[in-house]
Structure 1
């Protein structure tokens, strides 16, 4: 079965019509049909990746490459996760690679080395999507996940993951913030997470009249300005602590 036929077979397996796949990929309906018919034999790598993601599969499976299926399964599952959880998967994989490299564990015998066991108390923390240390991300308090820390959390409402580098060198991409909702209306440089309409930002916040100025710690980023009378939804959250997630399998 050629590549185009596999794309078509996977599309039909999922119950998608060509119009739906075109909408998910940003391609035209006619382009989808040309790929499936084989009129275009060489599909660019980046386009194939987009099609594979839309079809909840991987380029290697569509290409028919021989794999043991494990990497493809990990990729497929990761594609279905929200961005914050994808970040956790990435950090976990990086940590496992670091452990494997330092320990020089042979691939064919991953349990050849033993490590001393230790008892660590872990605390569960409820996380909600992610917050941008950059240009802003959507906030959805129905999309929750659980992370762990080995330090007792402070009193907080929920936690969220930093995405971006605009608050470095103090706060880093992938770190978690403990947040409490605030009800004040005057801001003079506090470190806050602010939700404005469907976007969230982690910045130093200044109020200048009816305007908010959001300032990054990283000087590479320009200040952001928002006129409050132009928005119907605004919430602010005080940062009461930060931590780097701990993964139970690493202990």
Structure 2
């Protein structure tokens, strides 16, 4: 089944009209028809979450990551596990560019459920943080605007370049360090420190086994 077919199937099973579903998720009826016809295949988090709530299902079922129906799906054994979005770049994940559509979702253990919306996954491209964070890894980031010196963070430089670096603070200086020695540190002094904006703290790295 396609995403649209699953949406339509659940809507009809629950006797929800197109107009009612549109009202529940804050869209118009034409958009619902486009979802159900699979004309729109990528659902941003802002749509997927209220859609799942309205239809009484999960992102995994709507997106087809679990071919079982919600009633058949085996619940995860842990508590405090939430499906968090995966973005293909830091910029997309933090809204730096005009794209907020996740490419996947991952079950994620979060100690404090009330903070689940602060956590996102990012696909890593490049080897500047290798071997700690390899090309093709996923990193779990907690959105926050400050980190301690020595921690690894998602950083925005000049409001346009989003990177993952180790942050070091000195007097009137912010240094962005790569783990890979091939990449030299970037040093921002005095007024230039305002060019660096902390987006979030890297909490976890998920690597694929070779």
Q: Output the TM-score relative to the length of structure 2.
A: 0.47
Larger radius of gyration: 1
Larger helix proportion of the pair: 1
Q: Output the TM-score relative to the length of structure 1.
A: 0.40
